[in-house]
A and B are shown apart, each in its own frame.
Chain A
């Protein structure tokens, strides 16, 4: 029998890579998932996974630049040591996934092919058609099945994680979970627990996320005392296919392979798109961002599309907002080979072949940059200390968060094709930390007191029974719809304080109503109604973190955009005056960073049903924050001023600190 047992909640890329690594290290794993792990939301990831590679290296790329792109793209809210470690691991992650049998696309000579993705100028992204997430997940699923057949892994699929089990010292000693068929509630004692439960898109009703991504597992840990960080940073993906049940992702790889975004210059031009000549087309991303073109970071592309439809009135359709994403200039065979999977999705759901007719797309909620606050140990070289017990540990000792449900890798905006990387990286890198923790914390999953397990089960049984008995009259499905509407209206692309304030009040009311739900099914067999009701109730703590975090952050950073707090473009024509404006701009930028370059940390206060926010410094010691100037008028002057300041600081600091290579370039 294994010396250690770990519970992993969630079987996407993070959960499976952790499970497989732990099994390799001889640790027994109980893997708990809402769905057969092979169906986890990671399957939806399309475009690819980033790592610098032999080809990009020869063009001047290296791991440090991948790291730099990631924190610059994230508007410097990322903690730098974990990101640095991830970037340096990235090539190794690709190699491993290659060995595990992922059918990455190949070049004519048989090397792994790469495509370009947003927020970088290098072709770093390895891909398997346009279903890279699916292919990576399957490779891990296969390894976990292998370990299962060897007896080290037990899967509990169609089980709902309900709560961590904590002893008197607050330490996590296992979890309580519920069989979604028999409705049995059971305790799973463990030496340590990993929550790898993904994002919380369902808080917004419809998003690009799968129906499992309701945030309930993260919320249950948050309510048990783990902190929730940077909740307000929600990525809205620029390109999705609107639908009544879901907003289906149209991968960034469509643009990576040459897809162009445009609208007719004449509002709602009635001509068929192919009849509109180039001169009558507005390729707004290419015009506004000549260097990055259609591959600006996601937050920027999203705002541009939103702006062109909402403020300029150039939506392709009059009563439904959308823009064209055009691939029709690319050869069909090439499209099939590299983008087949996503083009099929469009064709199946829209009934139109995107190889012949431009797709109609609009932004949709896509990714939670924020999540459970998690710790790390910084190594001497500015990366992470391998095996340190605190890597990825939440505020609850022995409870770890990995993958989309952690918070520190993607800052204020995630770069495309970095999420698959962060999930697999954390699972592989941080799993040994659980063993160090289990060894240093002492005790064992075998000697968790029976009374502790029983009382934890009882508390959940009580919640379950009360809901079934429920005397209220509220319909959980309708409350969810209202929650989704208010969140989508107030906390997506554009945020205004009056709207956020009013959304907070609405969400408070909805939360109270959600406690009075009436279930149309009070049975004790496969009761999806009660499982949904619990998930719905647990969406509110996260929704409140998002809204309150957004309200209190009076700035623009990455995905968080408040028009009332934008920094102005430079207006002066006269060079000296323009220079003076740039100086002022940089002063304001520095002042703003002093105030807001902080992690938002929420603690749940059950007595008031509200999150309490505080702010924590971000480790930006490796790459000094610099302005993100995509498309701003006067960017060159600001850049010049900023470079001078950075150089000055560098020389002042050089007595005390070693130089960090090219890190302080103010490149755009």
Chain B
């Protein structure tokens, strides 16, 4: 976390109340523990975003009633909405906290800013969640180009501008998880490591549980991205097989929330429609080739 700009020790309530922001945070001390709310007063400054609000809270570490508390844990990285780290639920809406500008938030909801962790991933602490399942899904769909190796073999196949313009938007997916949090079919899967269970055994049990759950819009879209690549498409059957299995494309209820919340405006529903056609064709082909 980087240092706040202004002096945050001036947190005393009272005279400067008007310039204070009320920030309510849903906290949780660890996995499986009861969540609880805490309210913070943060001095308002120009051009603040939720990241700078959390930075001030980290430096103050004091609630509105003067109680000393541990800083709120959260995840952030690039602060310019390309890394996907800082997803959380802000005033009820899942989004990146770096682009959540305070002036805008206050305009829409003047009383307070409410921060909650993402709802579909296990909470590690406070606003920090475990999105391992999201990355596991990328492995499930074999989201890569299966090149022979990394020696110099000259350039890849020539590609049209049209193909690039189709693939580039899909390739901008930063694995933030907004689409999953907003999806009615994507349900939380939270397991606890048992006493005496090794890390490896726990990871394997988690992976098995994840494989049964919905794979999610982001991974379906990545499958379509690689199926549209001249070499990536050699794995298309395997991807289609994965998308046809438990937790695959058939789980999608077509709520279209995913595309509405995607901060990168990735055409996720178009990918899902393409995946629907592609898996149907694949199943037909499989049927006739039996």
Contacts and interface: CB of A to CB of B under 8 A. Distances in A.
Interface of A: 20-21, 24, 35-36, 38-41, 43-44, 92, 94-96, 98-101, 103-112, 128-129, 131, 134-135, 138-139, 142-143, 145-146, 148-149, 181, 202, 205-206, 210-212, 243-246, 248-249, 337, 341, 345, 348-349, 351, 428, 475, 477-478, 480-481, 483-484, 520-521, 523, 525-526, 528-529, 532
Given A210-B79, A246-B2, 20 more contacts: A36-B131, A38-B84, A39-B83, A43-B78, A43-B83, A99-B156, A101-B156, A101-B226, A109-B158, A110-B159, A139-B145, A145-B135, A210-B83, A245-B52, A246-B79, A337-B165, A478-B59, A481-B5, A520-B61, A523-B70
Contacts of B226: 101
Contact of B125 (A134, A139, A484, A526): A526
Contact of A145 (B3, B85, B139, B155): B139
Interface residues of B, number: 77
**Interface residues of chain B: helix, strand, loop or mixed (majority):** loop
A546 B262 CA distance: 41
A345 B81 contact: yes
Contact of B150 (A20, A35, A110, A480): A20
A146 B143 CA distance: 8
A92 B152 contact: yes
A526 B128 contact: yes
B229 A44 contact: no
B231 interface: yes
23 contacts: A36-B175, A39-B175, A43-B82, A95-B152, A95-B153, A99-B231, A106-B164, A107-B161, A110-B160, A129-B168, A129-B172, A143-B144, A210-B78, A244-B5, A245-B2, A246-B79, A248-B80, A249-B80, A481-B3, A520-B61, A520-B69, A520-B71, A526-B73
Nearest to B75: A35
B229 A39 contact: no
Given A43-B174, A107-B161, A349 B48 contact: no
Contact of B175 (A38, A99, A210, A529): A38
B81 A95 contact: no
A36 B99 CA distance: 20
Contacts of A134: 82, 172, 174
B147 A99 contact: yes
B20 interface: no
Count chain A CB atoms within 10 A of each CB in B131, B150, B159 and give the residue with the most: B150
B1 interface: yes
Contacts of B128: 526
B3 to A, nearest CB: 3
Contacts of A98: 155-156
Interface in B23-62: 29-30, 45-49, 51-52, 55, 58-59, 61
Contacts of B196: none
A199 B187 CA distance: 39
Instruction: In the A-B complex, list the 9 residue pairs whose CB atoms are closest, starting with the nearest.
Output: A481-B3, A521-B70, A142-B144, A520-B61, A480-B3, A526-B125, A477-B59, A99-B156, A101-B145
